[in-house]
Amino acid sequence: MSHAIVRRHPARSVIIIALAAGALGWAGECLAQAAKGTAASYPVRPVRMIVGTDPGAAPDILARIVAEKLGEHLGQQVVVDNRPGAAAVLGAEIVSRAQPDGYTLMVSAAIHTVTPNVYRKMPYHPIDSFTPVARIASSPFILIASPGLGASTVKDLIAYAKANPGKLNYSSPGNGSIQHLSGEMLGQREGLKMTHVPYKSGAASVTAILTGDVQFCFVGLPPALPHVLAGRVRPLAVTTSSRFPTVADVPTAQEAGLAGFEADNWHAVIGPAGIPKALVARLNAEIVKVLARTDVKERMLKSGATVNPSTPAELHELLRSELAKWAKAAKAAGVQPDR
């Protein structure tokens, strides 16, 4: 039996390896240049900005303020697409499954880091399934009550609830929302028996007070502010560490006797995981420019929020820390995953 003799040529191997390495380097450079080109020419068609609530809720109000001006800066229309349901999970799922090309974005809120602690099965990971782009605003939650309840302070509300166990109903934008969790925490810490009534949005939960279906709720300030200023609901406390300018006479939860009761209803732009870094940088830069506009700052403030821009890295850290924070809060309140 004869055996073929294979002769190796070290020089030829070195040449092949060098060519391969050069080809890989060239390919990488082409991809980098393509990404830069995509970022520079983006967008060539309208951008969809998903909101996981009905119109009139805080994320919707703030998204529309940003979308209008961002469209002017980008030279293409930014269309707000309301996809309410399951405490914004439905809208976030759509975004998580979208192409990472910058044409599907979402204005999310603090609820994004709460739902994983309330729902047993999530169709996405709250951090890994998304690309952080920029935080846009901060807003307090506000505790409001029906004027007919006769409660002028948080202490009045608690006293009434203790004297009338099971008679108080409170609304929220849905099971698993921060507003729902806040009501649960209030009931747990004060030993109150109350009934939770979920709605599809913050605006709907406020309407429920106006119609008399519920007596109080925690809600984002934007949908509540017009009714607070008109005297249709009674504000009892805001959940931020300091008072908010447009409702400066409303005490903080801490001042109202709820020590440690604090929450920032931050809002941010996110997209599906995998958006090229150059495109993320372009989007972040344009959003920051929008938030620096005086007219945007004024509209935000009148709507119950303050502009609060961030880098993508800062937003990523915020998502991470908030996820841990609300996991701890849900456990302390005794809230168990129900789906």
Per-residue confidence (pLDDT) for residue 31, from 0 to 100? 44
- Containing structural domain, residue 239: 141-247
Same domain assignment for residues 241 and 161: yes
Average pLDDT over residues 36-64: 89
Q: Exposed, middle or buried, 17 (CB in 10 Å: 0-12/13-18/19+)?
A: exposed
69 has a pLDDT exceeding 90: yes
Same domain assignment for residues 278 and 135: yes
Q: How far are the Cα atoms of 216, 271, 284, 285, 293 from residue 312, in angstroms, in the given order? A: 36, 11, 7, 10, 20
Amino acid at 111: I
At residue 261 the predicted structure's pLDDT band, cuts being 50, 70 and 90, is: confident
Per-residue confidence (pLDDT) for residue 86, from 0 to 100? 83
Amino acid at 259: A
Per-residue confidence (pLDDT) for residue 13, from 0 to 100? 52
Domain final residue, candidates 214, 247, 280: 247
Residues 6+ apart with CB under 8 A from 234: 144, 145, 146, 147, 149, 151, 152
- Looking at the domain assignment, is residue 145 inside a domain? yes
Average pLDDT over residues 9-13: 53
Same domain assignment for residues 163 and 150: yes
- Looking at the domain assignment, is residue 69 inside a domain? yes
- Looking at the domain assignment, is residue 229 inside a domain? yes
Per-residue confidence (pLDDT) for residue 12, from 0 to 100? 54
Instruction: Give residue-wise pLDDT tens across range 20-48.
Output: 545 555 544 544 444 455 788 999 999 99
Strand partners, 130: 272
Per-residue confidence (pLDDT) for residue 10, from 0 to 100? 52
- Looking at the domain assignment, is residue 26 inside a domain? no
- Looking at the domain assignment, is residue 92 inside a domain? yes
At residue 109 the predicted structure's pLDDT band, cuts being 50, 70 and 90, is: very high
Same domain assignment for residues 131 and 270: yes
> Is residue 124 a contact partner of residue 90, using CB atoms and an 8 Å limit?
no
Same domain assignment for residues 181 and 135: no
Same domain assignment for residues 125 and 65: yes
pTM, full prediction: 0.79
Same domain assignment for residues 145 and 135: no
Per-residue confidence (pLDDT) for residue 155, from 0 to 100? 97
Same domain assignment for residues 126 and 167: no
Per-residue confidence (pLDDT) for residue 331, from 0 to 100? 80
Same domain assignment for residues 163 and 239: yes
Total count of domains within the chain: 2
Domain final residue, candidates 247, 278, 307: 247
Give the CATH number for residue 214.
3.40.190.10
> Is residue 145 a contact partner of residue 215, using CB atoms and an 8 Å limit?
yes
- Looking at the domain assignment, is residue 338 inside a domain? no
Same domain assignment for residues 52 and 124: yes
Instruction: Give percent above pLDDT 90 in the chain.
Output: 68
Instruction: Give residue-wise pLDDT tens across range 191-236.
Output: 999 999 998 888 899 999 999 999 999 998 988 999 999 999 999 9
Instruction: Give percent above pLDDT 70 in the chain.
Output: 88
Give the CATH number for residue 121.
3.40.190.150
95 has a pLDDT exceeding 90: yes
- Looking at the domain assignment, is residue 2 inside a domain? no
Between CA 41 and CA 52 the distance in angstroms is 29
Residues 6+ apart with CB under 8 A from 264: 110, 138, 139, 140, 239, 240
- Looking at the domain assignment, is residue 238 inside a domain? yes
Same domain assignment for residues 146 and 285: no
Domain final residue, candidates 196, 215, 247: 247
Same domain assignment for residues 107 and 193: no
